[in-house]
Amino acid sequence: MKLFCIKTNNNYILDYLLNRIKEINFEDLIYSKNEFKIYKNVIIHYKGKDEESFLCFLQELITEVILEFYEKELIRQMINYNYFYFDEYERIQICYNCSEIIESGYVIEETSKTQIKVKEKNRKEIVENAVNIYVKEHKSMILDGFVHFRLKEYISYLDNVIDTAVNQFIIEKEYNEFINLLRIYVDSKPAGCKLLHLIYMNGESIILDDNKSIVSISDNIFSAKYLSDISFSSNDLALNTLLTLLPEKIEIHLIDEEDDFINTIKLIFDGKTSICKECNICKTYRLINNAKIY
């Protein structure tokens, strides 16, 4: 008979363990809950002969509990300790970013020149490997101690996730501050013209005036004061032109789908933009675009 004891004083974990063992319904298994001096215990007896299957059962069960009950708390503790200078709302947002990153399975790693998106090891596999090694060598596990002292690779994984989440939060914060400053500027200045048309295709912009003549972006670059520190590639010049001419209305003619640049224009010129996809200007530039493709 094989025996394994899981020790914890967390009643939610105890109930979860008992319910999951019952749901899984592993054959030749007897389990019980007992309370000794320090810890409450879930004791699992295996009467069968397939020891490998029993170890896999324990591995999956314990891994499930760790990810379910410890992961978010570990992330919160690590953020509070390493990034205490963020306020409560900011730390909550970073926690939310962590959840999204974990779900995607990717983190951002910085090289000497740029940032690249790197697929992380499966966190479940990291925990399972550590649990597998432990249950082969021991007959009991204090859950809190195991999580905090035996999961170094998993803690390192969470640390990478948090670093990515913090960088993401800082970039988003700077972007929002940038948008708010430009919105204040736009709202504080009188309009310089009635209408501009922004034709957007293949990730690049063409600007027309209300007579549908092309506005030369290069003519406005010499008075550029508002080019952002956040790069929008070639669209920086188009953004500067809009900020220099300050139209009452911007009609955006989308030959492609909306992207970050178009969303940024809509945020900065809040209430002054409209989207068009089917007018004569759209049709003309769609034909031009199709002609270039073929």
In this structure, the answer to whether residues 144 and 234 fall within a common structural domain is no
Residue burial 243-263, b: 16+ Cβ < 10 Å; e: rest = bbbbbebbbbbbbeeeeebbe
In this structure, the answer to whether residues 113 and 151 fall within a common structural domain is yes
Higher-confidence position of 93 and 278: 93
In this structure, the answer to whether residues 137 and 218 fall within a common structural domain is no
Give the pLDDT confidence of 210-219 residue by residue, as tens digits. Answer: 998 998 875 5
Domain boundary among 176, 202, 229: 176
Domain boundary among 151, 176, 201: 176
Distance CA 294, CA 273 (A): 32
In this structure, the answer to whether residues 35 and 116 fall within a common structural domain is yes
In this structure, the answer to whether residues 139 and 253 fall within a common structural domain is no
Q: Which two tokens stand for residue 275?
A: 């989207």
In this structure, the answer to whether residues 36 and 61 fall within a common structural domain is yes
Residue 227 lies in a domain: yes
Is residue 17 within 8 Å of residue 68, measured between CB atoms?
A: no
Find the helix or strand (DSSP H, E) in which 198 lies.
strand 193-201
Domain boundary among 114, 142, 176: 176
Find the helix or strand (DSSP H, E) in which 256 lies.
none
Rounded to whole angstroms, what are the CA distances from 97 to 26, 138, 163, 230?
Answer: 37, 36, 10, 20
Q: What does the pLDDT read at residue 147?
A: 97
Residue 186 lies in a domain: no
Whichever domain contains 276, its CATH number is: 3.30.420
Residue 68 lies in a domain: yes
Average pLDDT, the chain: 88
Residue 181 lies in a domain: no
- The secondary structure of 236-274 as a DSSP string is HHHHHHHHHH-EEEEEEEESS---HHHHHHHHHTTTTEE
Angle at 77 between CA 71 and CA 82, to 5 degrees: 125
Residue 70 lies in a domain: yes
In this structure, the answer to whether residues 149 and 276 fall within a common structural domain is no
Its pTM surpasses 0.85: no
Q: What does the pLDDT read at residue 4?
A: 96
Q: What does the pLDDT read at residue 112?
A: 43
Distance CA 258, CA 138 (A): 57
| Structural domains in the chain (count) | 2
In this structure, the answer to whether residues 115 and 27 fall within a common structural domain is yes
In this structure, the answer to whether residues 144 and 230 fall within a common structural domain is no
Residue 132 lies in a domain: yes
In this structure, the answer to whether residues 56 and 147 fall within a common structural domain is yes
Angle at 63 between CA 17 and CA 144, to 5 degrees: 75
Is residue 207 within 8 Å of residue 238, measured between CB atoms?
A: yes
In this structure, the answer to whether residues 139 and 251 fall within a common structural domain is no
Find the helix or strand (DSSP H, E) in which 75 lies.
helix 71-82
In this structure, the answer to whether residues 76 and 215 fall within a common structural domain is no
- The DSSP code for 139 is S
Give the pLDDT confidence of 74-91 residue by residue, as tens digits. Answer: 999 999 999 999 999 999
Q: What does the pLDDT read at residue 111?
A: 45
**Sorting pLDDT into bands at 50, 70 and 90, what band is 113?**
very low
Q: What does the pLDDT read at residue 235?
A: 81
Burial class (CB in 10 A: 0-12, 13-18, 19+), 163: middle
Is residue 192 within 8 Å of residue 247, measured between CB atoms?
A: yes
Structural domain for 219, as ranges: 191-293
